[in-house]
């Protein structure tokens, strides 16, 4: 019985050893993967060693080299007399290769220990992922609120060349207080996007979303808003503050405000009222027939226009239609640049209607509202969630006068938009419905790949 146990233990150790060896060999060969710019520099290094050796040989007139070669020849001749050349040759070659691989492995291990002291990933895996992400398509996302940060959280897995264009019309909560008291542009939506694009997302999200619960004047403020406000004062404006914080947080991509103007939204309701202020529009509870901003034609940030012109893919939404998505498009230069773009453009429609903004809206109503605000069609496809929420969620939302956005296929088709149907919803245990970041990004990436190949 003890002998059988020992045999099983030895077999298990052998299998484990083989697995480790196989994994290690795979890691070695990954360094030869295309796109890492490793092979060319390795060959250049070898060429440098050969040239240096040749130069040294010429300089000393080959005398030391001749005697060294003679010494090696005599040594090798002695070895081959004892062990045949067809055995000793491959054996010495194998030993040399093993020493080379061992030395390189130890070198890379030492570098990895310094660069990633607590990381579980191999350095080569990190490099390969970095190359893949930074060779991804240039994606421009447009919106605000929690919808845009949800989208970014999923998209950053596919590309690091992401530009998030964020509205600066927010005037409620902590952002509104800072805007009124200090005169800065509202940092709330920008804060959410920075946290979503950061590598250490969980920790940074908790830090940036942390709200002070005590303190004279601090209660209700989030740390992220105060951080960006302080950086804006130090660097001179919000654009520089975002760039500086992006470096600190090591985010994948960039976050840009749609404009640096002090934009304030206004809306005309069907009952004739004119409501001013982003937070007041939703609270008014009416049917919005027209929306605009003061000043009427705010200038776009030059970096925003540059990003749109260079974009391979443009995504609008999800998010509050009139207070998150459309405010970006009220900047005429942004709307014109999107309309002129030849990149695939898609609008991610909300799953549920929003009281005070889109009550009783269908998918086509969302599209018409965007077209009316901009005066031109800006996207050629719309992503609509396919599956209905659970009865529990429907009851919860019905109490708030909110319902699933109905897909009126014929009207959407008549508006000249392709319909992309997919299950992209996440519903938590309380019945709260949101877009699932991973599912949403996967569907958008698949649609982009199809549209890109179809060109």
Best CA proximity match to 406, nearest among 367, 452, 453: 367
Helices and strands, counts by H and E, the chain: 19, 12
Q: Do 167 and 277 lie in a common domain?
A: yes
Q: Report CA 96 to chain centroid distance, whole Å.
A: 44
Domain-located, residue 143 = yes
Q: Do 78 and 210 lie in a common domain?
A: no
Q: Do 92 and 136 lie in a common domain?
A: no
Q: Do 84 and 134 lie in a common domain?
A: no
Domain-located, residue 237 = yes
What are the structure tokens assigned to 398, written together? Answer: 């019905």
Cα end-to-end distance, the chain, whole Å: 68
Domain-located, residue 272 = yes
pLDDT of residue 265: 93
Q: Do 139 and 265 lie in a common domain?
A: yes
What are the structure tokens assigned to 152, written together? Answer: 């970014």
Domain-located, residue 100 = yes
pLDDT in tens, the chain (455 residues): 445 544 555 455 455 545 555 555 565 555 556 655 666 666 787 778 778 877 777 776 666 666 777 777 777 777 777 877 777 778 877 887 787 777 767 766 666 666 555 555 566 666 677 677 888 899 999 998 889 999 999 999 999 999 999 998 888 777 777 877 777 888 888 888 988 898 765 676 677 778 887 766 777 788 888 888 888 888 888 888 888 888 877 788 999 999 999 899 999 999 999 999 888 998 888 899 999 999 999 999 999 999 999 999 999 989 999 999 999 999 999 999 999 999 999 999 999 999 989 999 999 999 999 999 988 999 999 999 999 999 999 999 999 999 999 999 999 999 999 999 999 999 998 899 999 999 999 999 999 998 766 66
Q: How many Å is the Cα radius of gyration of the chain?
A: 30
Residues 6+ apart with CB under 8 A from 119: 112, 126
Q: Do 196 and 290 lie in a common domain?
A: yes
Alpha-carbon distance of 308 to 221, in angstroms, equals: 33
Output b/e per residue, 97-112; b: 16+ Cβ within 10 A. Answer: eeeeeeeeeeebeeeb
Q: Do 95 and 134 lie in a common domain?
A: no
- Mapped onto helix, strand or coil, the DSSP state of residue 441 is helix
pLDDT of residue 4: 54
Domain holding 84, by residue range, is 38-104
Domain-located, residue 26 = no
pLDDT of residue 175: 74
Q: Report CA 170 to chain centroid distance, whole Å.
A: 23
User: Are the beta carbons of 287 and 119 closer than 8 angstroms?
Assistant: no
Cα–Cα distances (Å) from 134 to 156, 204, 252, in that order, read: 10, 22, 9
CATH number at residue 437: 3.40.50.10680
Residue 336: count of CB within 10 angstroms of its CB: 17
Q: Do 215 and 94 lie in a common domain?
A: no
Q: Do 229 and 308 lie in a common domain?
A: yes
pLDDT of residue 249: 79
Number of compact structural domains in the chain: 2
pLDDT of residue 235: 86
Q: Do 418 and 350 lie in a common domain?
A: yes
Q: Do 216 and 68 lie in a common domain?
A: no
pLDDT of residue 1: 43
Q: Which residues pair with 294 in a beta bridge?
A: 264
pLDDT of residue 95: 83
Q: Do 83 and 147 lie in a common domain?
A: no
Alpha-carbon distance of 125 to 119, in angstroms, equals: 11
Domain-located, residue 120 = no
Domain-located, residue 142 = yes
What are the structure tokens assigned to 352, written together? Answer: 């549920």
Domain-located, residue 341 = yes
């Amino acid at each position: 019985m003890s002998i059988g146990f020992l045999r099983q233990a030895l077999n298990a150790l052998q299998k484990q050893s083989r697995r480790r060896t196989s994994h290690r060999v795979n890691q070695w060969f990954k360094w030869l993967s295309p796109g890492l710019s490793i092979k060319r520099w390795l060959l250049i290094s070898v060429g440098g060693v050969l040239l240096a050796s040749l130069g040294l040989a010429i300089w000393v007139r080959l005398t030391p080299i001749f005697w060294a070669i003679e010494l090696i020849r005599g040594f090798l001749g002695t070895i081959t007399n004892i062990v045949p050349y067809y055995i000793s040759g491959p054996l010495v070659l194998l030993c040399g290769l093993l020493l080379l691989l061992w030395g390189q492995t130890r070198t890379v291990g030492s570098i990895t220990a310094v660069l990633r002291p607590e990381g579980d990933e191999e350095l080569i895996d990190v490099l390969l992922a970095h190359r893949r992400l930074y060779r991804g398509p240039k994606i421009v996302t447009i919106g605000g609120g929690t919808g845009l940060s949800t989208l970014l959280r999923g998209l950053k897995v596919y590309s690091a060349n992401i530009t998030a264009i964020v509205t600066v019309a927010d005037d409620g909560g902590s952002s509104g207080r800072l805007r009124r008291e200090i005169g800065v542009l509202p940092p709330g939506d920008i804060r959410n996007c920075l946290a979503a694009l950061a590598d250490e997302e969980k920790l940074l999200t908790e830090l940036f979303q942390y709200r002070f619960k005590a303190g004279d004047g601090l209660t209700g403020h989030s740390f992220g808003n105060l951080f960006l406000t302080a950086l804006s004062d130090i660097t001179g404006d919000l654009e520089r503050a975002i760039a500086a914080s992006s470096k600190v947080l090591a985010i994948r991509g960039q976050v840009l405000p749609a404009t640096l103007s002090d934009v304030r939204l206004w809306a005309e309701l069907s009952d004739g009222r004119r409501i001013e202020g982003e937070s007041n529009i939703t609270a008014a509870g009416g049917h919005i027939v027209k929306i605009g901003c003061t000043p009427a034609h705010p200038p776009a940030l030059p970096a925003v226009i540059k990003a749109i012109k260079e974009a391979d893919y443009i995504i609008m939404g999800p998010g509050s239609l009139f207070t998150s998505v459309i405010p970006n498009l009220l900047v005429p230069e942004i709307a014109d640049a999107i309309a002129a773009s030849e990149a695939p453009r898609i609008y991610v429609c909300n799953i549920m209607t929003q009281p005070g903004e889109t009550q009783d809206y269908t998918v086509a109503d969302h599209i018409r509202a965007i077209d009316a605000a901009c005066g031109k069609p800006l996207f050629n496809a719309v992503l609509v969630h396919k599956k209905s929420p659970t009865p529990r969620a429907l009851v919860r939302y019905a109490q708030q006068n909110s319902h699933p956005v109905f897909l009126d296929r014929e009207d959407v088709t008549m508006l000249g938009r392709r319909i992309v149907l997919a299950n992209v919803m996440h519903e938590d245990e309380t019945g709260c419905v949101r877009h699932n970041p991973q599912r949403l990004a996967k569907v958008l990436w698949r649609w982009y790949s199809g549209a890109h190949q179809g060109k």
